[in-house]
Amino acid sequence: MLIYFDGKLIPKEEAKVSVYDHGLLYGDGIFEGIRSYDGKVFRLEQHLDRLYNSAQAIALKIPLPKEEIREAVLKTLRANKLRDAYIRLVVTRGIGDLGLDPRKCPKPTIFIITDKIVLYPEEFYKNGLEVIVTKTKRNIKEALNPEIKSLNYLNNILARIEVNKRGCQEGIMTNIEGYVAEATADNIFIVRNKDASAKGGELCSASAFIDRASEARCHNKEVITPPAEMEALRGITRDAVLKIAESLGIEAHELPFTVKDLYEADECFLTGTAAEVIPVVKVDGKDIGDGKPGEITLKLKEGFKKLTQREGTPIY
């Protein structure tokens, strides 16, 4: 396995980050997780745009233009003869001293790993996940904006430790106000009757979003995911699923909802680059709907699979 490391392709055994690198010392850096399917990299341009946006948000100057990073990703995949792969693209602040000051890091470190990933066994895609709501709250955006895909994932890891102790597969994190934000590694969606949100329940209780909640009342079901304002990452798979729902005639919205809304949902599923689209059938020991993957979840899962088969940047 060859790793792209600061402009060179080297064996993974030789790919080493300095102990003085601020990505290691302080989590000072950014990354993207990307997938390729059957020789095409899915939504590479959107991932690169987000990488550069994250870099700008933390005042990190990526020393290569976007076109060179794009070619480096494809070059690494070709060097490893991969068609279906998981790509981890990382930019750290680089080597500095033992202080926090990023000005002491003159050159960022860039590396690209291309490999395989299996986040969940196939049985969970068929039967669904059991998850918990974690006690660990999502970082507030004023402290560390979740829109920045930084290397500092300790908030998520603390929640993941809770998940492991409870013997579940994933954890759902809420923000400080009690609204659902996202899972420890994925975005979250629920499916429910629109009548439920029209009754003035918790789903519409954030006044800034009430108008949006009333926009769609045509069909019986709607798909809902927390907006970025709820300390959620604007995931690329998440955005793709919103568009797929629209193309299938399924109402889909970014709206705040609570744990109570989650418990009462008809369906629930998670989305992410590594996880793709995976059903959730139980939260805190309570069945979601009938305790089986829902019809709309399965339609969106199949729609996403078809999208990845026809869309992407060719590797070869």
Residue type, 131: V
The pLDDT of residue 151 is 97
Predicted pLDDT of residue 314: 98
Hey, what are 164's tokens?
């492991």
Which residue ranges does the chain devote to CATH 3.30.470.10?
2-115
Say what the pLDDT of residue 313 is.
98
Q: Are 291 and 282 in contact (CB under 8 A)?
A: yes
Overall CATH class of domain 2-115: alpha beta
| pLDDT of the residue at 197 | 54
CA 124: distance to chain centroid?
18
pLDDT at 311: 94
Q: Which pTM value belongs to this model?
A: 0.90
Beta strand ranges found along the chain (DSSP E): 2-5, 8-11, 29-37, 40-41, 85-92, 109-115, 129-133, 170-174, 180-183, 187-193, 221-225, 251-254, 267-272, 276-283, 286-287, 313-314
Task: Please report the pLDDT score of residue 97 as a whole number.
Answer: 97
pLDDT of residue 229: 87
CATH of domain 122-310: 3.20.10.10
Q: Nearest-CA neighbor of 88 among 130, 39, 29, 135?
A: 29
CA distance 229 to 140: 10
Q: Indicate where the chain has its CATH 3.20.10.10 domain(s).
A: 122-310
Each residue's pLDDT, cut to its tens digit, for the chain (316 residues) gives 999 999 999 999 999 999 999 999 999 999 999 999 999 999 999 999 999 999 999 999 999 999 999 999 999 999 999 999 999 999 999 999 999 999 999 999 999 999 998 889 999 999 999 999 999 999 999 999 989 999 999 999 999 999 999 999 999 999 999 999 999 999 999 999 876 654 444 454 443 443 443 333 335 899 999 998 888 899 999 999 999 999 999 999 999 999 999 999 999 999 999 999 999 999 999 999 999 999 999 999 999 999 999 999 999 9
